[in-house]
Structure 1
Amino acid sequence: MERHYFISDDLDELDRVEAELESEGMDKPQIHVYSEDDTGVETHEHLHNMEAVLKKDVVYGTELGAVIGVAAAALVLLVAWVTGLPETVTWIPFVFLAIVALGFCTWEGGLFGIQEMHHDFKRFQDEIKAGKHVLFVDIDANQASALQRVIARHPSLRAAGTGSGTPAFVITAQRKWKEFVHSMP
Protein backbone atom coordinates (compact mmCIF):
# COMPACT_ATOMS: atom_id res chain seq x y z
CA MET A 1 0.00 0.00 0.00
CA GLU A 2 1.05 3.57 -0.57
CA ARG A 3 0.56 6.31 2.03
CA HIS A 4 -0.54 9.80 0.98
CA TYR A 5 -0.04 12.74 3.36
CA PHE A 6 -2.13 15.92 3.48
CA ILE A 7 -1.92 18.94 5.77
CA SER A 8 -4.82 21.04 7.01
CA ASP A 9 -5.52 23.44 9.85
CA ASP A 10 -9.25 22.60 9.98
CA LEU A 11 -10.40 19.48 11.81
CA ASP A 12 -13.97 19.99 10.56
CA GLU A 13 -12.78 19.75 6.97
CA LEU A 14 -10.71 16.66 7.77
CA ASP A 15 -13.83 15.11 9.31
CA ARG A 16 -15.71 15.71 6.04
CA VAL A 17 -12.78 14.34 4.00
CA GLU A 18 -12.65 11.17 6.09
CA ALA A 19 -16.42 10.67 5.77
CA GLU A 20 -16.15 11.07 2.00
CA LEU A 21 -13.23 8.64 1.82
CA GLU A 22 -15.23 6.08 3.80
CA SER A 23 -18.19 6.56 1.44
CA GLU A 24 -15.79 5.86 -1.44
CA GLY A 25 -15.05 2.45 0.08
CA MET A 26 -11.98 3.09 2.22
CA ASP A 27 -11.91 1.62 5.70
CA LYS A 28 -11.18 3.47 8.93
CA PRO A 29 -7.86 1.61 9.43
CA GLN A 30 -6.64 3.18 6.17
CA ILE A 31 -7.24 6.76 7.34
CA HIS A 32 -5.58 8.48 10.30
CA VAL A 33 -4.96 11.97 11.61
CA TYR A 34 -1.76 13.00 13.36
CA SER A 35 -2.44 16.03 15.54
CA GLU A 36 -1.36 17.49 18.83
CA ASP A 37 -5.04 18.33 19.46
CA ASP A 38 -6.13 14.85 20.55
CA THR A 39 -9.29 16.18 22.19
CA GLY A 40 -10.31 18.02 19.03
CA VAL A 41 -9.79 14.90 16.94
CA GLU A 42 -11.80 12.76 19.37
CA THR A 43 -14.76 15.15 19.29
CA HIS A 44 -15.20 14.63 15.54
CA GLU A 45 -17.36 11.70 14.50
CA HIS A 46 -15.30 10.37 11.61
CA LEU A 47 -11.73 11.25 12.53
CA HIS A 48 -9.49 8.34 13.43
CA ASN A 49 -6.66 9.55 15.68
CA MET A 50 -3.25 7.94 15.75
CA GLU A 51 -2.49 5.90 18.84
CA ALA A 52 -0.25 7.86 21.20
CA VAL A 53 2.43 5.18 21.21
CA LEU A 54 2.63 5.29 17.40
CA LYS A 55 3.32 9.03 17.47
CA LYS A 56 6.63 8.22 19.12
CA ASP A 57 9.51 6.15 17.77
CA VAL A 58 9.25 3.44 20.43
CA VAL A 59 9.16 0.50 18.02
CA TYR A 60 12.07 1.74 15.94
CA GLY A 61 14.10 2.61 19.06
CA THR A 62 13.40 -0.81 20.57
CA GLU A 63 14.44 -2.55 17.35
CA LEU A 64 17.64 -0.52 17.17
CA GLY A 65 18.34 -1.26 20.84
CA ALA A 66 17.80 -4.97 20.22
CA VAL A 67 20.32 -4.94 17.35
CA ILE A 68 22.87 -3.21 19.59
CA GLY A 69 21.97 -5.68 22.36
CA VAL A 70 22.63 -8.67 20.11
CA ALA A 71 26.04 -7.18 19.26
CA ALA A 72 26.78 -6.57 22.96
CA ALA A 73 25.72 -10.12 23.87
CA ALA A 74 27.89 -11.54 21.09
CA LEU A 75 30.81 -9.43 22.32
CA VAL A 76 30.40 -10.75 25.88
CA LEU A 77 30.37 -14.35 24.64
CA LEU A 78 33.28 -13.71 22.28
CA VAL A 79 35.41 -12.18 25.04
CA ALA A 80 34.58 -15.10 27.31
CA TRP A 81 35.53 -17.61 24.63
CA VAL A 82 38.78 -15.82 23.68
CA THR A 83 39.92 -15.47 27.29
CA GLY A 84 39.07 -19.07 28.16
CA LEU A 85 37.40 -18.03 31.45
CA PRO A 86 34.39 -20.35 31.02
CA GLU A 87 36.72 -23.34 31.39
CA THR A 88 37.44 -22.26 34.95
CA VAL A 89 34.14 -20.63 35.96
CA THR A 90 31.57 -22.23 33.53
CA TRP A 91 29.55 -20.50 30.82
CA ILE A 92 26.58 -19.66 33.08
CA PRO A 93 27.72 -16.16 34.23
CA PHE A 94 28.69 -15.17 30.69
CA VAL A 95 25.43 -16.38 29.16
CA PHE A 96 23.54 -14.56 31.91
CA LEU A 97 25.56 -11.37 31.29
CA ALA A 98 24.88 -11.66 27.54
CA ILE A 99 21.12 -11.98 28.22
CA VAL A 100 21.22 -8.98 30.56
CA ALA A 101 23.14 -6.92 27.96
CA LEU A 102 20.57 -7.80 25.28
CA GLY A 103 17.64 -6.93 27.53
CA PHE A 104 19.18 -3.71 28.80
CA CYS A 105 20.06 -2.41 25.34
CA THR A 106 16.59 -3.26 24.03
CA TRP A 107 14.95 -1.50 26.97
CA GLU A 108 17.17 1.57 26.61
CA GLY A 109 16.42 1.74 22.88
CA GLY A 110 12.72 1.86 23.70
CA LEU A 111 13.30 4.62 26.25
CA PHE A 112 15.20 6.68 23.69
CA GLY A 113 12.48 6.03 21.11
CA ILE A 114 9.68 7.20 23.37
CA GLN A 115 11.32 10.62 23.55
CA GLU A 116 11.43 11.07 19.76
CA MET A 117 8.71 11.85 17.24
CA HIS A 118 8.07 8.92 14.88
CA HIS A 119 10.62 9.01 12.08
CA ASP A 120 7.90 9.00 9.37
CA PHE A 121 6.45 12.24 10.75
CA LYS A 122 9.56 14.27 11.59
CA ARG A 123 9.21 16.08 8.27
CA PHE A 124 5.88 17.48 9.54
CA GLN A 125 7.22 18.56 12.92
CA ASP A 126 7.01 22.30 12.20
CA GLU A 127 3.44 22.07 10.87
CA ILE A 128 2.27 19.99 13.82
CA LYS A 129 3.86 22.39 16.33
CA ALA A 130 2.12 25.24 14.47
CA GLY A 131 -1.24 23.61 15.21
CA LYS A 132 -1.82 21.99 11.85
CA HIS A 133 -2.99 18.41 11.37
CA VAL A 134 -1.64 15.68 9.10
CA LEU A 135 -4.12 13.38 7.40
CA PHE A 136 -2.60 10.23 6.00
CA VAL A 137 -4.36 7.65 3.89
CA ASP A 138 -3.06 4.19 2.97
CA ILE A 139 -4.43 3.12 -0.40
CA ASP A 140 -4.20 0.28 -2.88
CA ALA A 141 -3.51 1.15 -6.51
CA ASN A 142 -7.19 0.66 -7.35
CA GLN A 143 -8.22 3.32 -4.78
CA ALA A 144 -6.04 6.12 -6.16
CA SER A 145 -8.77 7.62 -8.34
CA ALA A 146 -11.25 7.69 -5.42
CA LEU A 147 -8.68 9.48 -3.27
CA GLN A 148 -8.03 12.05 -6.00
CA ARG A 149 -11.79 12.68 -6.46
CA VAL A 150 -12.23 13.39 -2.75
CA ILE A 151 -9.11 15.54 -2.43
CA ALA A 152 -10.12 17.59 -5.50
CA ARG A 153 -13.29 18.66 -3.63
CA HIS A 154 -11.15 20.12 -0.80
CA PRO A 155 -8.75 22.70 -2.28
CA SER A 156 -7.57 23.93 1.13
CA LEU A 157 -6.07 20.49 1.82
CA ARG A 158 -2.37 20.61 0.95
CA ALA A 159 -0.69 17.49 -0.45
CA ALA A 160 2.46 16.73 1.55
CA GLY A 161 3.95 13.73 -0.22
CA THR A 162 3.77 9.96 -0.17
CA GLY A 163 5.48 7.09 1.58
CA SER A 164 5.15 3.41 2.29
CA GLY A 165 1.91 2.52 3.99
CA THR A 166 0.67 -0.09 6.39
CA PRO A 167 0.78 -3.56 4.79
CA ALA A 168 -2.55 -4.65 3.31
CA PHE A 169 -2.72 -7.74 5.53
CA VAL A 170 -2.62 -5.55 8.66
CA ILE A 171 -5.51 -3.42 7.43
CA THR A 172 -7.45 -6.56 6.48
CA ALA A 173 -6.81 -8.02 9.94
CA GLN A 174 -8.02 -4.79 11.58
CA ARG A 175 -11.17 -4.82 9.44
CA LYS A 176 -11.90 -8.46 10.27
CA TRP A 177 -11.27 -7.84 13.98
CA LYS A 178 -13.73 -4.94 13.92
CA GLU A 179 -16.33 -7.12 12.17
CA PHE A 180 -15.76 -9.88 14.73
CA VAL A 181 -16.10 -7.53 17.71
CA HIS A 182 -19.26 -5.95 16.31
CA SER A 183 -20.81 -9.36 15.66
CA MET A 184 -20.47 -10.38 19.31
CA PRO A 185 -23.76 -10.48 21.26
Structure 2
Amino acid sequence: MNRHYYISDNLDELETLENELEASGISTEQIHVLSDKDADVEQHHLHDVSSVMKQDIVHAGKIGSLIGLALAALVVLLAWLNGWADTPAGWIPFVFLAVVLLGFSVWEGSLFGLQKPNSAFQRFADTLHEGKHLFFVDVNPAQEPLLNQIVAHHPRLELAGTGSASPGWAIALQYHWNQFRKLI
Protein backbone atom coordinates (compact mmCIF):
# COMPACT_ATOMS: atom_id res chain seq x y z
CA MET A 1 0.00 0.00 0.00
CA ASN A 2 1.06 3.59 -0.62
CA ARG A 3 0.39 6.68 1.46
CA HIS A 4 -0.47 9.94 -0.30
CA TYR A 5 -0.03 13.20 1.63
CA TYR A 6 -1.97 16.39 0.90
CA ILE A 7 -1.90 19.79 2.60
CA SER A 8 -4.89 22.05 3.00
CA ASP A 9 -5.93 25.01 5.09
CA ASN A 10 -9.65 24.30 4.69
CA LEU A 11 -11.27 21.65 6.89
CA ASP A 12 -14.60 21.97 5.07
CA GLU A 13 -12.93 20.87 1.85
CA LEU A 14 -11.20 18.00 3.64
CA GLU A 15 -14.52 16.87 5.07
CA THR A 16 -16.03 16.87 1.57
CA LEU A 17 -13.02 14.97 0.23
CA GLU A 18 -13.23 12.36 2.98
CA ASN A 19 -16.95 11.85 2.29
CA GLU A 20 -16.28 11.44 -1.45
CA LEU A 21 -13.50 8.92 -0.82
CA GLU A 22 -15.67 6.89 1.56
CA ALA A 23 -18.61 6.96 -0.89
CA SER A 24 -16.34 5.58 -3.61
CA GLY A 25 -15.17 2.61 -1.52
CA ILE A 26 -12.08 3.81 0.32
CA SER A 27 -12.66 2.93 3.97
CA THR A 28 -12.47 5.40 6.83
CA GLU A 29 -9.55 3.45 8.28
CA GLN A 30 -7.47 4.40 5.24
CA ILE A 31 -8.05 8.15 5.69
CA HIS A 32 -6.45 10.40 8.32
CA VAL A 33 -6.13 14.09 9.10
CA LEU A 34 -3.24 15.41 11.17
CA SER A 35 -3.53 18.92 12.54
CA ASP A 36 -2.45 21.03 15.47
CA LYS A 37 -6.13 21.97 15.80
CA ASP A 38 -7.58 18.69 17.06
CA ALA A 39 -10.84 20.26 18.27
CA ASP A 40 -11.56 21.69 14.81
CA VAL A 41 -10.82 18.34 13.15
CA GLU A 42 -13.21 16.58 15.54
CA GLN A 43 -15.88 19.24 14.97
CA HIS A 44 -15.75 18.53 11.22
CA HIS A 45 -16.17 14.77 11.86
CA LEU A 46 -12.88 13.96 10.18
CA HIS A 47 -10.94 10.78 10.96
CA ASP A 48 -8.05 12.21 12.94
CA VAL A 49 -4.73 10.62 13.72
CA SER A 50 -4.77 8.65 16.97
CA SER A 51 -2.59 9.87 19.80
CA VAL A 52 -0.44 6.73 19.57
CA MET A 53 0.20 7.43 15.89
CA LYS A 54 1.25 11.03 16.66
CA GLN A 55 4.14 9.79 18.81
CA ASP A 56 7.19 7.82 17.73
CA ILE A 57 6.35 4.82 19.92
CA VAL A 58 6.51 2.13 17.23
CA HIS A 59 9.70 3.37 15.58
CA ALA A 60 11.52 3.81 18.89
CA GLY A 61 10.19 0.44 20.10
CA LYS A 62 11.71 -1.22 17.03
CA ILE A 63 15.06 0.38 17.80
CA GLY A 64 14.73 -0.77 21.41
CA SER A 65 13.98 -4.31 20.23
CA LEU A 66 17.14 -4.36 18.11
CA ILE A 67 19.20 -3.21 21.09
CA GLY A 68 17.45 -5.81 23.25
CA LEU A 69 18.17 -8.58 20.76
CA ALA A 70 21.85 -7.59 20.73
CA LEU A 71 22.00 -7.61 24.54
CA ALA A 72 20.17 -10.93 24.73
CA ALA A 73 22.52 -12.47 22.19
CA LEU A 74 25.49 -11.12 24.13
CA VAL A 75 24.26 -12.73 27.38
CA VAL A 76 23.71 -16.10 25.72
CA LEU A 77 27.04 -15.89 23.89
CA LEU A 78 28.98 -15.02 27.07
CA ALA A 79 27.28 -17.85 28.96
CA TRP A 80 28.18 -20.30 26.20
CA LEU A 81 31.79 -19.12 25.73
CA ASN A 82 32.56 -19.10 29.45
CA GLY A 83 30.77 -22.35 30.22
CA TRP A 84 28.50 -20.68 32.77
CA ALA A 85 25.58 -22.86 31.72
CA ASP A 86 27.42 -26.01 32.78
CA THR A 87 25.96 -25.76 36.26
CA PRO A 88 22.95 -27.53 37.78
CA ALA A 89 20.81 -24.46 36.88
CA GLY A 90 21.80 -24.82 33.24
CA TRP A 91 20.63 -22.28 30.68
CA ILE A 92 17.51 -21.14 32.58
CA PRO A 93 19.03 -18.07 34.33
CA PHE A 94 20.75 -16.87 31.15
CA VAL A 95 17.70 -17.32 28.94
CA PHE A 96 15.60 -15.56 31.57
CA LEU A 97 18.09 -12.67 31.73
CA ALA A 98 18.11 -12.46 27.92
CA VAL A 99 14.30 -12.25 27.82
CA VAL A 100 14.27 -9.61 30.57
CA LEU A 101 16.86 -7.51 28.72
CA LEU A 102 14.87 -7.76 25.49
CA GLY A 103 11.60 -6.78 27.18
CA PHE A 104 13.22 -3.92 29.09
CA SER A 105 14.85 -2.55 25.94
CA VAL A 106 11.55 -2.58 24.00
CA TRP A 107 9.80 -0.90 26.93
CA GLU A 108 12.46 1.80 27.31
CA GLY A 109 12.55 2.42 23.56
CA SER A 110 8.78 2.85 23.50
CA LEU A 111 8.90 5.24 26.47
CA PHE A 112 11.55 7.26 24.67
CA GLY A 113 9.35 7.34 21.54
CA LEU A 114 6.41 8.54 23.62
CA GLN A 115 8.33 11.78 24.17
CA LYS A 116 8.99 12.46 20.48
CA PRO A 117 6.68 13.27 17.57
CA ASN A 118 6.30 10.56 14.94
CA SER A 119 9.33 10.58 12.65
CA ALA A 120 7.05 9.96 9.63
CA PHE A 121 5.36 13.34 10.19
CA GLN A 122 8.46 15.32 11.16
CA ARG A 123 8.83 16.83 7.68
CA PHE A 124 5.37 18.40 8.02
CA ALA A 125 5.97 20.03 11.43
CA ASP A 126 6.42 23.56 10.04
CA THR A 127 3.31 23.25 7.86
CA LEU A 128 1.23 22.13 10.84
CA HIS A 129 2.55 24.98 12.98
CA GLU A 130 1.41 27.40 10.26
CA GLY A 131 -2.16 26.24 10.91
CA LYS A 132 -2.49 23.99 7.89
CA HIS A 133 -3.71 20.40 7.97
CA LEU A 134 -2.16 17.20 6.65
CA PHE A 135 -4.59 14.84 4.92
CA PHE A 136 -3.24 11.42 4.05
CA VAL A 137 -4.74 8.33 2.48
CA ASP A 138 -3.39 4.76 2.44
CA VAL A 139 -4.40 3.05 -0.80
CA ASN A 140 -3.55 -0.17 -2.55
CA PRO A 141 -2.42 0.02 -6.20
CA ALA A 142 -5.94 -0.76 -7.49
CA GLN A 143 -7.33 2.29 -5.64
CA GLU A 144 -4.70 4.74 -6.95
CA PRO A 145 -6.66 5.82 -10.08
CA LEU A 146 -9.80 6.34 -7.97
CA LEU A 147 -7.89 8.53 -5.50
CA ASN A 148 -6.33 10.58 -8.30
CA GLN A 149 -9.73 11.07 -9.95
CA ILE A 150 -11.38 12.32 -6.75
CA VAL A 151 -8.45 14.52 -5.69
CA ALA A 152 -8.47 16.16 -9.15
CA HIS A 153 -11.82 17.75 -8.20
CA HIS A 154 -10.12 19.55 -5.30
CA PRO A 155 -7.61 21.96 -6.85
CA ARG A 156 -6.91 23.72 -3.54
CA LEU A 157 -5.24 20.58 -2.18
CA GLU A 158 -1.48 20.64 -2.34
CA LEU A 159 0.23 17.31 -3.00
CA ALA A 160 2.88 16.88 -0.31
CA GLY A 161 4.37 13.58 -1.41
CA THR A 162 4.01 9.86 -0.90
CA GLY A 163 5.37 7.37 1.57
CA SER A 164 4.96 3.90 2.96
CA ALA A 165 1.53 3.13 4.35
CA SER A 166 0.23 1.06 7.20
CA PRO A 167 0.23 -2.63 6.28
CA GLY A 168 -2.94 -3.84 4.56
CA TRP A 169 -3.54 -6.40 7.30
CA ALA A 170 -3.48 -3.65 9.96
CA ILE A 171 -6.04 -1.56 8.06
CA ALA A 172 -8.23 -4.64 7.53
CA LEU A 173 -7.99 -5.47 11.23
CA GLN A 174 -9.04 -1.91 12.13
CA TYR A 175 -11.93 -2.08 9.69
CA HIS A 176 -13.25 -5.37 11.06
CA TRP A 177 -12.81 -4.19 14.65
CA ASN A 178 -14.84 -1.03 13.90
CA GLN A 179 -17.54 -3.11 12.20
CA PHE A 180 -17.69 -5.40 15.25
CA ARG A 181 -17.99 -2.38 17.57
CA LYS A 182 -20.94 -1.08 15.55
CA LEU A 183 -22.74 -4.38 16.10
CA ILE A 184 -22.41 -4.15 19.86
Instruction: State the shift of 1:89 in Å.
Output: 7.5
**Superposition TM-score, scaled by structure 1 size:** 0.87
- Secondary structure of 2:161 counterpart: strand
Residues 63-142 of structure 1 mapped to structure 2, 5 A cutoff: 63-87=62-86, 90-91=89-90, 92-142=92-142
**Superposition TM-score, scaled by structure 2 size:** 0.87
Instruction: State the shift of 1:136 in Å.
Output: 0.4
- Secondary structure of 1:121 counterpart: helix
Matching residue's letter, 2:145:
S
Matching residue's letter, 2:102:
L
Matching residue's letter, 1:146:
L
> Is 121-130 or 1-10 further displaced after alignment?
121-130
Once residues 103 and 149 of structure 1 are traced to their aligned partners in structure 2, the CA distance between those partners, rounded to angstroms, is: 46
Matching residue's letter, 2:79:
A
Matching residue's letter, 1:34:
L
Once residues 74 and 22 of structure 2 are traced to their aligned partners in structure 1, the CA distance between those partners, rounded to angstroms, is: 52
> Is 109-118 or 142-151 further displaced after alignment?
142-151
Once residues 163 and 12 of structure 2 are traced to their aligned partners in structure 1, the CA distance between those partners, rounded to angstroms, is: 25
Matching residue's letter, 2:177:
W
Query: Is 1:164–2:164 an aligned residue pair?
Result: yes
Q: How large is the RMSD of aligned CA atoms in angstroms?
A: 2.0
- Secondary structure of 1:155 counterpart: coil
> Which residue matches 1:181?
181
Matching residue's letter, 2:81:
V
Identical-pair percentage: 48
Uncovered stretches (5+) of structure 1, i.e. residues with no partner: none
> Is 104-113 or 90-99 further displaced after alignment?
90-99
Q: 1:161 to 1:105 in 2, by over 3 A?
A: same
Uncovered stretches (5+) of structure 2, i.e. residues with no partner: none
Q: 1:172 to 1:106 in 2, by over 3 A?
A: closer
Q: Size of the alignment, in residue pairs?
A: 183
Once residues 177 and 101 of structure 1 are traced to their aligned partners in structure 2, the CA distance between those partners, rounded to angstroms, is: 33
Q: 1:100 to 1:145 in 2, by over 3 A?
A: closer
- Secondary structure of 1:136 counterpart: strand
Instruction: State the shift of 1:88 in Å.
Output: 5.2
Once residues 74 and 41 of structure 2 are traced to their aligned partners in structure 1, the CA distance between those partners, rounded to angstroms, is: 48
Q: 1:81 to 1:33 in 2, by over 3 A?
A: same
Q: 1:152 to 1:65 in 2, by over 3 A?
A: same
> Is 87-96 or 160-169 further displaced after alignment?
87-96
> Which residue matches 1:154?
154
Instruction: State the shift of 1:28 in Å.
Output: 0.5
Instruction: State the shift of 1:113 in Å.
Output: 1.4
- Secondary structure of 2:111 counterpart: helix
Q: 1:176 to 1:99 in 2, by over 3 A?
A: closer
Once residues 147 and 109 of structure 2 are traced to their aligned partners in structure 1, the CA distance between those partners, rounded to angstroms, is: 37
1:72-124: CA deviations, max 9, x gaps? Answer: 01111222222233435744443333222212211111112112222221221
Instruction: State the shift of 1:157 in Å.
Output: 1.0
> Which residue matches 1:21?
21
Matching residue's letter, 2:175:
R
